[in-house]
Amino acid sequence: MTIEIYIQNIQRWIESIPEGQAEIILEAANNATGMIKDRIRKTGCKADGSMFAPYSTTPMLTNCSSMTQAACAKKAGSKEKRRDLRWVTLKRGDKKVKLFELEGGYKEYRELHGRPTNFVDFAFSGNMWADVQVTSNDNDHRKGRATVSALHEDQYKKLEGNEAKREGILDISEAEMNDLAGIIENRLIEMMQRSDLA
């Protein structure tokens, strides 16, 4: 290959970078999102390796309308069980709502629903994690930026509330960063190979 052809290939590769960069950034952001979700759902670990604060055991108020039928039956499924509960009536608008206390707090609420409580995974229904994805657009990706968040308002509020209680939900670990750097490096090499530069 002559130096002139090599320089032309470099120029062609440089011109292709913005388009290729958008693809690479999107792929890296999608991979990062998957890594974060997997780490938290499988281990309950923050990016720095520490555990998120455990589920609350502070007593909370609930009622059967906010629980599954099976979970409610475990706690208030008979007259005897209901009699042993501490009841509170609250006024909500024109209605009065009767609630009972779960002494074990949100941790007990999860246990009644058969959800794990040995570590925090931010997954009860799974809707929040399903909604968390890359929310930035192609123009952002061409500039080397990507944003990961919840798409829909209700799940965004849930993510925001969880973040307020336990910071660092969408942080990425050093090991994950290294994996992403490898992905980006491989894609850049592929771009160079397509331009006959490697």
CB 173 within 8 A of CB 47: yes
- Domain positions in the chain: 15-50+120-198, 55-118
Distance CA 181, CA 36 (A): 15
User: pLDDT tens digits for 23-52?
Assistant: 888 999 999 999 999 999 999 999 999 999
User: pLDDT tens digits for 80-127?
Assistant: 999 999 999 998 889 999 999 999 999 999 999 999 999 999 999 999
SS3 97: strand
What backbone torsions phi and psi does residue 132 show, to the nearest 5 degrees?
Answer: -80, 120
Exposure string for 21-31, b = 16+ CB within 10 A, e = fewer? bbebbbbbbee
Q: Is the pTM of this model over 0.85?
A: no
Distance CA 42, CA 56 (A): 20
pLDDT at 78: 93
Distance CA 162, CA 97 (A): 26
